[in-house]
Chain A
């Protein structure tokens, strides 16, 4: 048996497969045994009750989908009263994804999550839907630094920071999060996109624009994961378009130490357990005894600082 355990800072996961925020809930227990996952990641929660965006909230595009769910949330109180206890029976570590419209709000919600049963915080500072005028914290290094510093003051739990592809400064944002003492980066959230119906001439999403996810998005996320690995020393968790074991392997090769699976679970609800099993087989076939030997094994022949200059490549 190949050893699939992977370390993300202080956390050790039994395997590198976990769900992406917003594409998973406890309802998945009706499909497979949740404890087979490396970790459980909640939908982003907010302190206040939120309604979410108008419908239609999703549409399909070639090789992927757009979503403008928004962050409908029953609020922190409901999460603590109903969701957190319901996760207690599971052994897989629980990562709580949080968001807020302001730095103070962010710090406030994180300060209330230093609780037993929560293994880590994922700061969704990259959601393109909820920030006023569409500017997310994670679009710029300075706002990233300020919000992550504020969160770091509030918690000693592992703090994962989720990056956005909606920036021209991936390397700088990643480094700002590391400098502000994030424990890991999740790379990445969806990329802002649009779809219009040519016949009705209406936008296909109620919110006009939304985030692209699924296979069509994978090369962008992979590029960002690679850039991040090359520019920081903290662990990077890959996310974006992962649907096959080859996709998982590509993110591991560029140096991600775990992966999140989102849209693929909509297409194949059993994707995550199958990816875990397939990864065993893949690594055995490639002659690896452990996943950690495989992580970062890319043969790119590139010097460490190449990623910066390559941004202008095409």
Chain B
């Protein structure tokens, strides 16, 4: 056994290993869970796009060894609250999903570089699908704080699968739902939707994450309209602090391909530099 995780808080140190307590934990949509923790304030100096590294509980069924990276879905420093929206996909997230109110959870963060919001931007647009919503949600919180407009294009299989729409609306974002079942989410439709926003001068910055399809689309729209963008990427991690170099991905930069650590140089990257995978 190690002694308890918390070190004395310090101003110079920005990454904290802390033990939080589960406040609420419930289903968000089928297969997705929303987890809210009470954590020490020192760990809540967060920016949208950053993530935490979660020590999933070891239960009778499985023993996830490595931590699991999870985007910050919401944070409230004053209230001491931190939340995650995640999809149950393998042994770590399955173990996580069994946590009950009052259970303790060891988390490390905040980690990585968050999204940037250009000085002169007035209208932000984000395009998200699935758990990508979790990563992009704090942008809505930040846009409201800065008094900027934000449109959230939320994509899902069907209207029942749309998640977090109320969350975005509550944060003052304009939600544009698109779904496969209604035939509104295919690349051509999205493309004309985004082009329309660009022409109407309602898109100064574009954000996305997760899929190759959305990356390609946002790259094209951004390039053609001269609008900057960012993408949050995922890669398997061990340390999440920049030490082990396992989480690299290739990026196009200055005519060459460079390898960068998703945990340290990312997880948010310039959308034009990102490469499909």
A residues with a Cβ closer than 8 A to B are: 22-25, 27-33, 43, 51-52, 55-65, 67, 69, 72, 214, 243-245, 265-271, 273-275, 277-278, 281
B residues 220-264 in Cβ contact with A at 8 Å = 235-236, 238-239, 241-249, 259, 264
Given contacts A61-B65, A214-B65, A266-B238, 4 further A-B pairs with CB under 8 A are A23-B239, A33-B10, A57-B236, A266-B243
Bound-complex Cα distance A266 to B67 (A): 8
18 A-B pairs with CB atoms under 8 Å apart are: A22-B243, A31-B15, A32-B13, A33-B10, A52-B248, A56-B246, A57-B248, A60-B64, A67-B244, A67-B246, A72-B248, A266-B244, A267-B66, A268-B2, A268-B55, A270-B6, A270-B7, A281-B3
Do A265 and B2 touch (CB < 8 A)? no
Do B3 and A267 touch (CB < 8 A)? no
Do A269 and B108 touch (CB < 8 A)? yes
Do B2 and A23 touch (CB < 8 A)? no
Task: Using A63-B65, A268-B5 as known contacts, say yes or no to A58 and B13 having CB atoms under 8 A apart.
Answer: no
Bound-complex Cα distance A19 to B219 (A): 41
Do A58 and B241 touch (CB < 8 A)? no
Query: For A270, what are the chain B residues with a Cβ–Cβ distance below 8 Å?
Result: 5-7, 17
Do B65 and A268 touch (CB < 8 A)? no
Q: Which residue of B lies closest to A216 (CB)?
A: B65
Q: Which residue of B lies closest to A73 (CB)?
A: B245
Bound-complex Cα distance A28 to B239 (A): 10
Query: For B63, what are the chain A residues with a Cβ–Cβ distance below 8 Å?
Result: 62-63
Bound-complex Cα distance A274 to B66 (A): 19
Query: For B66, what are the chain A residues with a Cβ–Cβ distance below 8 Å?
Result: 58, 60, 65, 266-267
Size band of the interface chain B makes with A: 35 or more
Do A31 and B17 touch (CB < 8 A)? yes
Q: Which residue of B lies closest to A67 (CB)?
A: B246
Do A274 and B65 touch (CB < 8 A)? no
Bound-complex Cα distance A28 to B264 (A): 12
Do B13 and A30 touch (CB < 8 A)? yes
Query: For A245, what are the chain B residues with a Cβ–Cβ distance below 8 Å?
Result: 2
Query: For B55, what are the chain A residues with a Cβ–Cβ distance below 8 Å?
Result: 267-268
Do B243 and A24 touch (CB < 8 A)? yes
Instruction: Identify which of A62, A67, A268, A277 contacts B238 (C-beta below 8 A).
Output: A67
Bound-complex Cα distance A72 to B5 (A): 31
Instruction: Identify which of A25, A29, A52, A214 contacts B259 (C-beta below 8 A).
Output: A52
Query: For B248, what are the chain A residues with a Cβ–Cβ distance below 8 Å?
Result: 52, 55, 57, 72
Instruction: For the complex formed, measure the closest distance between the CB of B237 and the CB atoms of chain A, giving whole angstroms.
Output: 8
- Over the window 155-178 of chain B, the binary record of Cβ atoms lying under 8 Å from chain A Cβ atoms (1 yes, 0 no) is 000000000000000000000000
Bound-complex Cα distance A52 to B241 (A): 18
The reply to whether the CB of B212 lies closer than 8 angstroms to some CB of chain A is no
Do B235 and A31 touch (CB < 8 A)? no
Instruction: For the complex formed, measure the closest distance between the CB of B225 and the CB atoms of chain A, giving whole angstroms.
Output: 33
Do B245 and A267 touch (CB < 8 A)? no
Most B CB atoms within 10 A — which of A27, A51, A275, A277?
A27
Bound-complex Cα distance A128 to B52 (A): 32
Query: For A266, what are the chain B residues with a Cβ–Cβ distance below 8 Å?
Result: 66-67, 238-239, 243-244
Query: For B247, what are the chain A residues with a Cβ–Cβ distance below 8 Å?
Result: 57
The reply to whether the CB of B24 lies closer than 8 angstroms to some CB of chain A is no
The reply to whether the CB of B192 lies closer than 8 angstroms to some CB of chain A is no
Most A CB atoms within 10 A — which of B3, B17, B65, B249?
B65
Do A265 and B246 touch (CB < 8 A)? no
Query: For B241, what are the chain A residues with a Cβ–Cβ distance below 8 Å?
Result: 25, 27-28, 30-31, 269
Do B17 and A275 touch (CB < 8 A)? no
- Over the window 1-34 of chain B, the binary record of Cβ atoms lying under 8 Å from chain A Cβ atoms (1 yes, 0 no) is 1110111001001111100000000000000000
Bound-complex Cα distance A30 to B108 (A): 11
Bound-complex Cα distance A294 to B18 (A): 32
B residues 173-217 in Cβ contact with A at 8 Å = none
Bound-complex Cα distance A271 to B55 (A): 14
